[in-house]
């Protein structure tokens, strides 16, 4: 190896100076217009959001500060009477959300595992396409589908479990998509490292791939859950409201926050029932906000 | 413990593309064999056929024979998972499992295959980390995440993980290419120690490294882009670097191409 001689760099003092100050008026004007347009778009997007929040808090906030709201149901309370709480609806929403998650998570996560780790060829493409279609199914269609199958065809009575089934239809595609994205982020080298140790494929998936993507998958699940807990259409079709606390998923009525909001919607705005509608709305917003925050928090522990 | 590997008429494919053609060579036991050659010549591909990792890539398949002490790795009824427990591998980039502690990383191969005896596992962890010259650096923080180590330490952790399942052969795919010279030296020293017990095959782009660590060197090349790679010659490292039989080998080693 011969060393390459370092060339003396000659600074061209006599070279003409390049003009760096030239900011043409037209360009800077365009830049300012673009900036204004973007800020305006942001403001337009934020106005309704802030408006909703302010009015919901202003009209329903008081009731939430009352401890009875979190401990009592609406049992024995009429639209003209003050008092009672939303525990029956909160409990119903949480219970239905939990059952929906229990059904959707295994199916959704394993479908994503299939698509990322096993799926090749036509069948996988078909599954992926179906998931795309399911993502776009409006919630009322999911509700009507379950109604058509279980009520119309099998003649069953409406119950909370059917709400859960309809919500499952809505939740599975979101879980599949988010889990799929997280699994794709797991570096292939980790799978190879595990195979090279003589670990079988299924064990590699369960002990290396899924734990690595775990927090991301949890985030996806919580965000998906937050989405379906606010769904109303399937509840209106499949889950009749009640004022009492109910925990039987398989028979009888069960209250939820969206149906509670819907229940006394038609009453005059001067009645106490009306304030409870705003309070129920605020409760639902807070519940979903909490799930979203939990989801974001879980994503902090991401290993990928 | 260590085993000999015989490759005969080995053709390696990615789908319909023939990546490597007609490899015939013997990898000696208790010695280090280095694979050298330009990028894309198929040396890593050949390495990955030695523990059936090649077929992990969709469309990857092999024709010909790979004999491990006379037993065909691609014979009927051979389980690739079993092969990988016998022939371990260390990769180009250190890849400790990010969810596991240092201890669990080393024990991963045994744990994931069902060994539960904690005392036995601890023994293996200590022995493997000592074997990889990492024990003294990590013995006080075995329960810290493996990803918190430096690059060189991570790579030694991966070597410890590979030798924990007590393989017969250790494959190394450019194990030092992501490391600084000091870590590289540590790995090379380790390779020298490990060859007492294992058959080692190492792919490297670093000619000095091949000359330093290996006993036997195989030079791969390809005629043109899109053509399959070939084994040009394999001989003792001394001969390859001082008096190769093929002109192509000499040109490559001395830095003259074409």
Chains A & B: contacts with CB separation below 8 Å: 75
Structural domain harbouring B173: 5-253
From CA A42, how far away is CA A36, in angstroms rounded?
10
Residue B155 belongs to a domain:
yes
Residue B118 belongs to a domain:
yes
pLDDT at residue B1 greater than cutoff 60: no
Taking only the tens place, the pLDDT of each residue in A21-46 is 666 678 888 999 999 999 999 999 99
Residue B15, phi-psi category: left (phi > 0), alpha (psi -120 to 50), beta (remainder): left
DSSP chain B: ----EEEEEEEEEETTEEEEEEEEEEEPTTSEEEEE-STTSSHHHHHHHTTT-GGGSTTEEEEEEEEETTEETTSTT--HHHHHHHEEEE-SS----TTSBHHHHHHHHHHHTT---HHHHHHHHHHHHHHTT-HHHHTT-TTSBGGGS-HHHHHHHHHHHHHHT--SEEEEESTTTTS-HHHHHHHHHHHHHHTTTSEEEEE-S-HHHHHHH-SEEEEEEESSTTSPEEEEEEEEHHHHHHS-SSHHHHHHHTT---
Residue B153 belongs to a domain:
yes
User: Using N-to-C axis directions, what is the helix angle for A272-299 and A25-65, rounded to 10°?
Assistant: 120
A186 contact residues in B (CB cutoff 8 A): none
B161 to chain A, any CB pair closer than 8 A? The answer is: yes
pLDDT at residue B50, as a whole number? 93
Residue B258 belongs to a domain:
no
Q: Mind listing the domains of chain A with CATH numbers? A: 87-299 (1.10.3720.10)
pLDDT at residue B25, as a whole number? 93
B109 to chain A, any CB pair closer than 8 A? The answer is: yes
A200 contact residues in B (CB cutoff 8 A): 81
Q: Measured between CB atoms, which of B53, B89, B112 is closest to A203?
A: B112
B43 to chain A, any CB pair closer than 8 A? The answer is: no
B254 to chain A, any CB pair closer than 8 A? The answer is: no
Residue B22 CB burial class (10 angstroms; 0-12, 13-18, ≥19): middle
A182 contact residues in B (CB cutoff 8 A): none
Confidence of residue B77 (pLDDT cuts 50, 70, 90): confident
Q: Measured between CB atoms, which of B53, B98, B109 is closest to A192?
A: B53
CATH of the domain at B185: 3.40.50.300
Closest by CA position to A288, among listed A110, A54, A53: A53
From CA A232, how far away is CA A89, in angstroms rounded?
13
pLDDT at residue B254, as a whole number? 85
pLDDT at residue B131, as a whole number? 87
For residues A249 and A178, the model is more confident at: A178
Give me the phi and psi of B201, to 5 degrees please.
-120, 130
Confidence of residue A301 (pLDDT cuts 50, 70, 90): confident
Residue B211 belongs to a domain:
yes
The lowest-confidence range among A116-125, A264-273, B54-63, B70-79 is A264-273
Q: Measured between CB atoms, which of B58, B85, B95 is closest to A198?
A: B85
For residues A102 and A67, the model is more confident at: A102
B83 contact residues in A (CB cutoff 8 A): 198
B114 to chain A, any CB pair closer than 8 A? The answer is: no
Taking only the tens place, the pLDDT of each residue in A157-167 is 899 999 999 99
Confidence of residue A10 (pLDDT cuts 50, 70, 90): low
* Range B204-229 burial, b when 16+ CB lie within 10 A, else e: bebbebbbbbbebbbbbbbeeeeebb
pLDDT at residue A266 greater than cutoff 90: no
Confidence (pTM)? 0.82
Structurally, chain B folds into a number of domains equal to: 1
For residue B36, the number of C-alpha atoms closer than 13 Å in the C-beta half-sphere is 29
CB-CB under 8 Å, A189 with B112: no
Residue B28 belongs to a domain:
yes
pLDDT at residue B228 greater than cutoff 60: yes
- The ipTM (two decimal places) reads 0.88
Q: Measured between CB atoms, which of A189, A203, A212 is closest to B91?
A: A189
- Residues paired with residue A234 on neighbouring β-strands, in sequence order: none
CA nearest A212 in B: which residue? Answer: B99
């Amino acid at each position: 190896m011969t060393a390459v001689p370092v060339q003396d760099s000659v600074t061209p003092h006599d070279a003409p100076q390049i003009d760096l100050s030239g900011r043409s008026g037209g360009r800077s004007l365009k830049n300012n217009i673009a900036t204004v347009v973007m800020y305006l778009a942001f403001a337009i997007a934020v106005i309704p959001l802030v408006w909703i929040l302010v009015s919901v808090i202003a009209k329903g906030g008081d009731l939430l500060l009352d401890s009875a709201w979190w401990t009592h149901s609406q049992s024995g309370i009429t639209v003209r009477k003050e008092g009672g709480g939303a525990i029956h609806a909160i409990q119903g929403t949480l219970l239905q959300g939990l059952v929906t998650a229990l059904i959707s998570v295994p199916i959704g996560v394993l479908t994503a595992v299939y698509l990322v780790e096993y799926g090749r060829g036509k069948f996988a493409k078909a599954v992926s396409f179906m998931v795309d279609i399911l993502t776009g199914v409006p919630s009322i269609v999911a509700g009507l589908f379950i109604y058509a199958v279980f009520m119309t065809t099998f003649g069953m009575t409406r119950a909370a479990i059917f709400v859960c089934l309809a919500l499952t239809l809505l939740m599975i595609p979101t879980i599949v998509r988010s889990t799929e994205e997280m699994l794709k982020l797991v570096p292939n080298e980790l799978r190879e490292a595990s195979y090279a140790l003589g670990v079988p494929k299924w064990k590699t998936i369960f002990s290396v791939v899924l734990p690595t993507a775990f927090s991301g998958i949890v985030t996806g699940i919580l965000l998906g859950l937050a989405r379906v807990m606010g769904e109303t259409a399937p509840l209106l079709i499949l889950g009749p409201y009640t004022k009492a606390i109910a925990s039987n998923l398989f028979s009888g009525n069960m209250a939820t926050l969206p149906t509670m909001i819907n229940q006394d919607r038609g009453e005059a705005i001067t009645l106490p029932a009306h304030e409870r509608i705003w309070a129920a709305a605020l409760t639902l917003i807070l519940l979903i906000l909490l799930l979203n925050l939990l989801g974001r928090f879980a994503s902090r522990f991401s290993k990928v | 413990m260590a085993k000999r590997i015989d490759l005969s008429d080995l053709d390696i494919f990615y789908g319909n593309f023939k990546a490597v053609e007609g490899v015939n060579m013997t990898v000696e036991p208790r010695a280090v064999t280095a694979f050298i050659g330009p990028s894309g010549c198929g040396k890593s591909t050949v390495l990955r056929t030695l523990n059936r990792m090649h077929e992990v890539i969709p469309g990857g398949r092999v024709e010909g024979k790979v004999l491990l002490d006379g037993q065909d790795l691609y014979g009927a009824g051979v389980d690739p998972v079993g092969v990988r427990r016998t022939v371990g591998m260390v990769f180009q980039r250190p890849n400790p499992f990010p969810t596991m502690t240092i201890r669990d990383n080393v024990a991963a191969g045994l744990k994931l295959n069902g060994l539960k005896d904690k005392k036995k596992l601890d023994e293996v962890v200590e022995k493997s980390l000592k074997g990889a010259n990492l024990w003294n650096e990590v013995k006080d923080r075995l329960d810290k995440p493996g990803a918190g180590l430096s690059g060189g330490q991570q790579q030694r952790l991966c070597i410890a993980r590979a030798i924990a399942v007590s393989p017969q052969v250790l494959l190394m795919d450019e194990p030092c290419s992501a490391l600084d010279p000091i870590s590289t030296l540590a790995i090379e020293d380790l390779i020298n120690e490990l060859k007492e017990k294992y058959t080692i095959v190492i792919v490297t782009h670093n000619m000095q490294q091949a000359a330093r660590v290996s006993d036997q060197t195989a030079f791969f090349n390809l005629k043109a882009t899109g053509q399959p790679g070939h084994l040009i010659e394999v001989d003792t490292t001394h001969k390859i670097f001082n008096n190769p039989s093929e002109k192509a080998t000499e040109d490559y080693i001395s830095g003259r191409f074409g």
